[in-house]
Amino acid sequence: MLSRGIRFAALAAITLTVAGCGSTIDGTAAAGELDVRELEVGKYATDPLDLRYTYYHDLSGGANLALMRLADQVVTGPEIDARLKYGTGAVPILDAEKATKTLADVTQPVLESNGMMFGYAVGHRDTPADKSGKRPEDASFTTVTVLQFPSEEAAKKAAMEIEELDFELAADANQPVQLSKYADAHTHWRPGVPTIGSVMARSNYVINVYAGLKDPELDKLTELVEQVYDAQAPLLDALKPLNREDMLRLKYDTDGMLRRTLNPDGFGSPDISSQAAFELRGFLHQVSDQDHWSRVMRDVGMDRYSLSRSMSNSSMVFRTRDTEAAENLITVILENSYPNAADAPAAIPNARCGESPTKDDYSTKRFRCAVTYRQYVATVEGDQLTDAHQRAAAQYALLTNSW
**What are 259-270's pLDDT values in tens digits?**
999 999 999 999
**What are 80-114's pLDDT values in tens digits?**
999 999 999 999 999 999 999 999 999 999 999 99
Q: Which of 299, 298, 250 is nearest to 277 (CA)?
A: 250
pLDDT at 129: 78
Q: ∠ at Cα 236 (248, 232), nearest 5°?
A: 140
- CA distance linking residue 373 with residue 349, whole number of Å: 9
Res 25 pLDDT > 70 = no
**What are 161-179's pLDDT values in tens digits?**
999 999 999 999 999 999 9
Of 129-143, 196-210, 294-308, the least confident: 129-143
- CA distance linking residue 22 with residue 249, whole number of Å: 32
- CA distance linking residue 258 with residue 343, whole number of Å: 27
Res 43 pLDDT > 70 = yes
Residue ranges and CATH numbers for the domains of the chain are 39-55+259-401 (no CATH), 59-237 (3.40.1000.70)
| Average pLDDT over all residues of the chain | 91
Cα distances from 92 to residues 8, 66, 87, 146, 180, in angstroms, run 10, 10, 15, 10, 31
Q: Which of 395, 401, 402, 313 is nearest to 41 (CA)?
A: 395
Percent of the chain with pLDDT over 70: 91
* Model confidence band, residue 245 (pLDDT cutoffs 50, 70, 90): very high
pLDDT at 401: 92
Average pLDDT, integer, range 240-245: 97
pLDDT at 119: 98
* Model confidence band, residue 360 (pLDDT cutoffs 50, 70, 90): low
* Model confidence band, residue 133 (pLDDT cutoffs 50, 70, 90): low
pLDDT at 205: 99
Query: What is the rounded (10 degree) CA torsion for 237, 199, 231, 124?
Result: -130
* Model confidence band, residue 34 (pLDDT cutoffs 50, 70, 90): confident
**What are 295-336's pLDDT values in tens digits?**
999 999 999 999 999 988 999 999 999 999 999 999 999 998
* Model confidence band, residue 271 (pLDDT cutoffs 50, 70, 90): very high
Res 290 pLDDT > 70 = yes
- CA distance linking residue 173 with residue 183, whole number of Å: 22
